[in-house]
């Protein structure tokens, strides 16, 4: 494998046109994929020193996160903690500190695992991916970013530069949970992020991000539709939970059965909406 270190974004975009080129940043997925023969790039384009892609800022009313922000950066950011609590919580649950110090936001999304930890919270807050190539920039809603199992809409030669989010304010509500078989270094069994933007006691806008229950992480439009524009109470929560459960298309694997995962979609959506709205836990969850 050849290696080139990009000194600028322009450099990286030119190198990326080489046949068999792959970007490498934190390397937490790509380096073992190469070692174990799962991926065989002909050229690694090292973008890890492009400082201009490592930032967390507020811009145009959105929270904007550079693709090279690490998971540790997310975890330690006050902006993320305040404006995107589910993303902060997903960073807390992400792998362990050794991996968090290297793994980047862009890499987690581009790896396109159905269980990508950062995807549900980014989807729930209306995430939008910013892409650049020699042809120019374009942006893409994160909900249209994942095309299939480990497939994204990113074209060859395109660089994911940033993700922007709709921020949550002090009066808005949110919650996150990752079901996992141990408390760290675990691939999620099911993960859900919920964000509710409130206006006069009504849910003006809702985002529900689902992970590990379909070939791709996705927004549960069906669950969101039961919440948007409504005063959310028990009835709305039950409808949203049922919609999320019906929409899920999970598989059986070593971590859990499809049946369990489907059931947990309903349980988690119900639990997170109750938690977000400050309602007490229901007496019986299943």
Partner 1 sequence: MSRYEVAFRVNGEERRDSVRGEDTLLRTLRELGHVDVKTSCEAGDCGACAVLLDGEAVNACLVLTAQADGCEIVTVRGIGTEGNLHPIQRQIVEKGGVQCGFCTPGIVVAAKALLDRNPAPSLEDIRRGLAGNLCRCTGYQKLFEAIVAAALEMRG
DSSP 205-225: EEEEEEESSSSS-EE-HHHHH
* Shorter beta-carbon distance to partner 1: residue 14 or 258: 14
* Shorter beta-carbon distance to partner 1: residue 90 or 220: 90
* Shorter beta-carbon distance to partner 1: residue 4 or 153: 4
* Shorter beta-carbon distance to partner 1: residue 19 or 170: 19
Site residues for partner 1, 21-80, by CB under 8 A, read: 24, 26-28, 31-32, 34-36, 43-44, 46, 48, 72
Of 7, 52, 57, 96, the one binding partner 1 (CB under 8 A) is: 96
Cα distance between residue 184 and residue 97, in whole Å: 10
Site residues for partner 1, 178-237, by CB under 8 A, read: 183-185
Of 81, 82, 102, 275, the one binding partner 1 (CB under 8 A) is: 102
* Shorter beta-carbon distance to partner 1: residue 46 or 238: 46
Compute the residue count for the chain. 286
C-alpha distance from residue 121 to each of 61, 86, 109 (Å): 18, 5, 12
Query: Which residues does residue 206 pair with via DSSP β-bridges, in sequence order?
Result: 196
Of 6, 12, 95, 119, the one binding partner 1 (CB under 8 A) is: 95
Confirm or reject binding of residue 283 to partner 1 (CB under 8 A): no
CB atoms within 10 A of CB 182: 6
Confirm or reject binding of residue 148 to partner 1 (CB under 8 A): no
Q: Quote the least distance from Cβ 33 to partner 1, whole Å.
A: 9
Confirm or reject binding of residue 97 to partner 1 (CB under 8 A): yes
DSSP 224-268: HHTTTTB---HHHHHHHHHHHHHH------SS--HHHHHHHHHHH
Q: Where are the alpha helices (DSSP H) in 94-218?
A: 97-100, 105-110, 119-124
Binding window for partner 1 (CB under 8 A); candidates: 97-105, 114-122, 206-214, 261-269 = 97-105
3-state secondary structure (DSSP) of residue 94: coil
90 DSSP assignment: H
* Shorter beta-carbon distance to partner 1: residue 42 or 137: 42
């Amino acid at each position: 494998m050849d290696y080139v270190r990009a000194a600028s974004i322009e450099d990286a975009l030119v190198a990326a046109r080489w046949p068999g080129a792959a970007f490498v940043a934190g390397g937490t997925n790509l380096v073992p994929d190469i070692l174990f023969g799962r991926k065989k790039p002909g050229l690694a384009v090292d973008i890890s020193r492009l400082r201009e892609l490592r930032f967390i800022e507020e811009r145009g009313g959105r929270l904007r996160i550079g693709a090279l922000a690490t998971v540790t950066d997310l975890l330690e950011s006050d902006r993320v903690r305040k404006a995107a609590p589910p993303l902060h919580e997903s960073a807390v649950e992400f792998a362990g500190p050794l991996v968090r110090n290297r793994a980047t936001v862009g890499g987690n999304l581009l790896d396109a695992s159905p269980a990508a930890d950062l995807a549900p919270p980014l989807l729930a807050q209306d995430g939008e991916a910013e892409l650049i190539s020699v042809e120019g920039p374009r942006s893409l809603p994160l909900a249209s970013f994942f095309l299939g199992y480990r497939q994204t809409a990113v074209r060859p030669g395109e660089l994911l530069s940033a993700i922007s989010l709709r921020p949550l304010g002090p009066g808005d509500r949110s919650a996150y949970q990752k079901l996992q078989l141990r408390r760290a270094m675990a691939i999620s069994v099911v993960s859900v992020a919920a964000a509710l933007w409130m206006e006069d006691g009504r849910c003006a806008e809702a985002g529900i991000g689902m992970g590990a229950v379909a070939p791709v992480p996705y927004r549960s439009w069906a669950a969101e539709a039961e919440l948007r524009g409504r005063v959310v109470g028990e009835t709305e929560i039950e409808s949203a939970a049922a919609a999320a459960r019906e929409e899920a298309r999970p598989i059986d694997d070593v971590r859990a059965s499809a049946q369990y995962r489907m059931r947990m979609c309903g349980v988690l959506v119900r639990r997170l909406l109750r938690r977000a709205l400050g309602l007490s836990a229901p007496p019986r969850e299943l």
